[in-house]
């Protein structure tokens, strides 16, 4: 019997994927810095130094880094170390769309070639569709020694991959010109040719004119605010002087109201997101600066600022896109929940209302304490919207704040509370619904008792039985009586037959006879018990002289027999 050799354990990685992921973040930041600044700029130089330092840390554990390239991500040792879904900003897509399928950095790349490589990527991003060169041509021209790659030729369907180190076949321009001249027919004498004259130095052909137009359009289409903000955050991260950082933070604080007034909500969201990054990455932040940056999202979430923002959105004639508003609302803090709920009934723009709802749902699901605060608000509209939201989301902790609303709220609010409690249906919600059985409002009592009966909540039996056997239903209408009696039959079961039989069938000449409505309700309650004993009682009243009672008995018998 041969023994199966044990499987080899997975090879241990030379360094953790998180370190490679951090390296790629530094490279991405360096790509942005080399795009925005000149080489003599301190920010440019600091970004290059950071890239060199990150590579040197990696080289302590390995001599090369090999990445597999997908449409939106780079993988190292089967771990995703870079991902960007936005293709216009994605390094992975820039490489992938031109056929590059793997990329390797070798020890020494940080000494000069990495900056050239980033320049090639930036150049490739800006190439036109009909440009005479592409990324592969740009890479081949640089003749990198510490950067290698493999790619797949995309021109034809049956193309095969070209391995690293193979050259791209091409014909020198001088040879092409010589071949064309040899194939051309001889010139006729006396014919004037434009080649006989020197054209002006500034003459442009059609492709060059189109290129200039496209570059001018691209320049005008750039988001200059985003570029300026990126430069501010770069300086804020790299400049460790307290006075410089204080001035930069002041600029950001003053910039937010301007952006809100201009309707540039995406830039405001960008500021708030980048602030989180700065708090994690910036070195030597003073406690005062850290607190100021942490309070930027909080200030936007305060009642006054948020109310002004929502009102301006609702009243604006030109509205921002849903994506812009979503990015902004995602940065709101939990304390914004009550303010958002108060504005929901006032909003007239359906798109803004929907976005406010989504933002409130996100905050409510993640912050139970803020839900309770909103339920305790002094504004009735805020309470009502918060109750409805809690019911839609079925928040299990919300019933803790609904007790006072059920006791002292108006009719509309009470009904909303009962509806929310029936949707949540947690033990705490069921206990509150027991209180609704004794509520002063008819509709609240009916809604509460019907749901308790539907769920078979036997803890409510004592309250329901007290109403059925007591005088609480004496002046109630038929609908309410029916709801309580049917609930009693569902909850009491066989134990309630004796009580209901006494109401339905008056024994003896001197026995007190209930009114027809009460007797009909008792018959319907017996129908909910669905037992042979209950059927026997109903059959005794099948020929009752009261038409209302006979009809109720007939319906109950059909239900018992079902």
Give residue 46's pLDDT. Answer: 86
Quickly list H helices, 409-510. Answer: 411-424, 427-436, 442-455, 461-469, 478-492, 497-504
Give residue 182's pLDDT. Answer: 57
pLDDT band for position 203 (cuts 50, 70, 90): low
Give residue 185's pLDDT. Answer: 57
* 186-195, 240-249, 374-383, 402-411: range with lowest mean pLDDT: 186-195
Task: Give the pLDDT confidence of 342-382 residue by residue, as tens digits.
Answer: 888 888 888 888 888 888 888 888 888 888 888 888 888 88
Give residue 507's pLDDT. Answer: 62
Domain assignments of the chain as residue spans, ordered by start? 17-162, 461-562
Q: Identify the residue with better confidence: 54 or 325.
A: 54
The pTM score is 0.54
Instruction: Check pLDDT > 60 for residue 510.
Output: no
DSSP string, 193-205: -GGGS---TT---
Tell which residue, 352, 357, 424, 350, has the closest CA to residue 385: 357
**Contact yes or no for 326/361 (Cβ under 8 A):** no
**Contact yes or no for 503/544 (Cβ under 8 A):** no
165-174, 276-285, 463-472: range with highest mean pLDDT: 463-472
Instruction: Check pLDDT > 60 for residue 79.
Output: yes
Mean pLDDT calculated for residue range 436-440: 87
Q: How far is CA 514 from the centre of its chain?
A: 61
pLDDT band for position 482 (cuts 50, 70, 90): very high
> Rounded to whole angstroms, how far apart are CA atoms 345 and 408?
22
Q: In this structure, what token pair is assigned to residue 427?
A: 């033990």
Q: How far is CA 323 from the centre of its chain?
A: 11
Mean pLDDT calculated for residue range 138-160: 73
β-sheet bridge partners, residue 106: 64
Give residue 67's pLDDT. Answer: 93
Strands 64-69 and 161-162: unpaired
Helix (H, G, I), strand (E, B) or coil at 323: helix
Beta strand spans in 35-181 (E): 64-69, 73-76, 79-83, 100-106, 147-152, 161-162
> Rounded to whole angstroms, how far apart are CA atoms 108 and 252?
39
Helix (H, G, I), strand (E, B) or coil at 390: helix
Give residue 172's pLDDT. Answer: 53
What is the rounded average pLDDT for all residues in the chain? Answer: 81
pLDDT band for position 75 (cuts 50, 70, 90): very high
Q: How far is CA 333 from the centre of its chain?
A: 14
Mean pLDDT calculated for residue range 77-87: 87
> Rounded to whole angstroms, how far apart are CA atoms 95 and 103?
9
Mean pLDDT calculated for residue range 334-345: 87
**Contact yes or no for 414/438 (Cβ under 8 A):** no
**Contact yes or no for 523/538 (Cβ under 8 A):** yes
β-sheet bridge partners, residue 76: 79
Give residue 484's pLDDT. Answer: 92
Give residue 279's pLDDT. Answer: 85
* 130-134, 166-170, 473-477: range with lowest mean pLDDT: 166-170
pLDDT band for position 156 (cuts 50, 70, 90): very low
Mean pLDDT calculated for residue range 492-500: 89
Instruction: Check pLDDT > 80 for residue 5.
Output: no
Q: Which residue is associated with the tokens 């897509």?
A: 93
Q: How far is the CA of 71 from the CAs of 83, 194, 221, in angstroms?
A: 9, 48, 25
Instruction: Check pLDDT > 80 for residue 113.
Output: yes
**Contact yes or no for 337/374 (Cβ under 8 A):** yes
**Surface-to-core class of residue 16, CB atoms within 10 Å of its CB (0-12 exposed, 13-18 middle, 19+ buried):** exposed
Q: In this structure, what token pair is assigned to residue 149?
A: 């790659």
Percent of all residues in the chain with a pLDDT value above 70, rounded to a whole number: 85
Phi, psi of 105 (to 5 degrees): -105, 135
102-106, 110-114, 293-297: range with highest mean pLDDT: 102-106
Mean pLDDT calculated for residue range 486-512: 80
Domain 461-562 has CATH 1.25.10.10: yes
> Rounded to whole angstroms, how far apart are CA atoms 492 and 486?
10
Residues 6+ apart with CB under 8 A from 30: 47, 48, 50, 51, 114, 118
């Amino acid at each position: 019997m041969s023994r199966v050799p044990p499987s080899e354990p997975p090879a241990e990685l030379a360094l953790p994927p998180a370190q490679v992921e951090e390296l790629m973040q530094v490279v991405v930041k360096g790509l942005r810095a080399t795009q925005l600044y000149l080489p003599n700029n301190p920010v440019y130089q600091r970004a290059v130094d950071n890239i060199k330092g990150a590579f040197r840390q990696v080289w302590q554990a390995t001599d090369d880094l090999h990445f597999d390239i997908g449409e939106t991500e780079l993988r190292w040792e089967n771990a995703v170390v870079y991902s960007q879904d936005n293709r216009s900003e994605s390094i992975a897509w820039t490489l992938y769309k031109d056929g590059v399928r793997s990329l390797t950095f070798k020890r020494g790349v940080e000494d000069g070639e990495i900056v050239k490589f980033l320049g090639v990527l930036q150049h490739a991003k800006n190439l036109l569709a009909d440009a005479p060169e592409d990324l592969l041509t740009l890479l081949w021209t640089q003749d990198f020694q510490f950067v290698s790659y493999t790619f797949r030729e995309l021109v034809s369907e049956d193309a095969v991959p070209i391995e690293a180190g193979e050259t791209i076949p091409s014909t020198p321009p001088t040879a092409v010109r010589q071949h064309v001249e040899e194939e051309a027919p001889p010139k006729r004498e006396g014919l004037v040719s434009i080649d006989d004259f020197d054209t002006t130095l500034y003459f442009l052909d059609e492709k060059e004119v189109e290129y200039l137009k496209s570059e001018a359009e691209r320049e005008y289409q750039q988001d200059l605010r985003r570029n300026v903000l990126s430069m501010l955050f770069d300086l804020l991260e790299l400049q460790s002087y307290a006075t410089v950082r204080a001035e930069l933070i002041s600029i950001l604080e003053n910039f937010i109201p301007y952006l809100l007034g201009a309707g540039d909500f995406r830039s405001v969201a960008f500021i708030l997101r980048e602030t989180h990054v700065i708090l994690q990455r910036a070195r030597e932040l003073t406690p005062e600066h850290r607190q100021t940056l942490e309070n930027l999202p909080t200030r936007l979430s305060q009642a006054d600022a948020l109310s002004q923002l929502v009102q301006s959105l609702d009243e604006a004639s030109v509205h921002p896109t849903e994506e812009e508003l979503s990015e902004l609302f995602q940065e709101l803090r939990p304390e914004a929940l009550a303010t958002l709920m108060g504005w929901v009934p006032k909003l007239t723009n359906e798109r803004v209302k929907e976005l406010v709802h989504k933002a409130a749902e996100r905050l409510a699901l993640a912050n139970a304490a803020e839900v309770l605060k909103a339920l305790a608000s002094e504004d009735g509209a805020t309470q009502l919207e918060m109750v409805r939201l809690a019911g839609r989301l079925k928040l299990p902790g919300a019933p803790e704040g609904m007790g006072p609303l059920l006791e002292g709220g108006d009719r509309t609010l009470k009904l909303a509370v009962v509806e929310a409690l029936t949707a949540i249906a947690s033990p705490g919600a069921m206990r509150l619904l027991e209180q609704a059985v004794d509520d002063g409002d008819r509709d609240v009592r009916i809604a509460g008792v019907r749901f308790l009966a539907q769920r078979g909540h036997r803890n409510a039996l004592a309250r329901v039985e007290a109403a059925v056997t007591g005088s609480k239903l004496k002046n109630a209408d038929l609908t309410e009586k029916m709801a309580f009696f049917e609930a009693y039959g569902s909850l009491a079961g066989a134990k309630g037959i004796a009580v209901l039989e006494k109401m339905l069938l008056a024994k003896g000449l001197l026995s007190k006879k209930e009114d027809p409505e009460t007797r009909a309700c008792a018959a319907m309650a017996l129908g909910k018990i669905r037992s042979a004993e209950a059927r026997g009682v109903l059959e005794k009243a099948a020929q009752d002289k009261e038409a209302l009672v006979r009809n109720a008995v007939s319906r109950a018998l059909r239900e018992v027999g079902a």
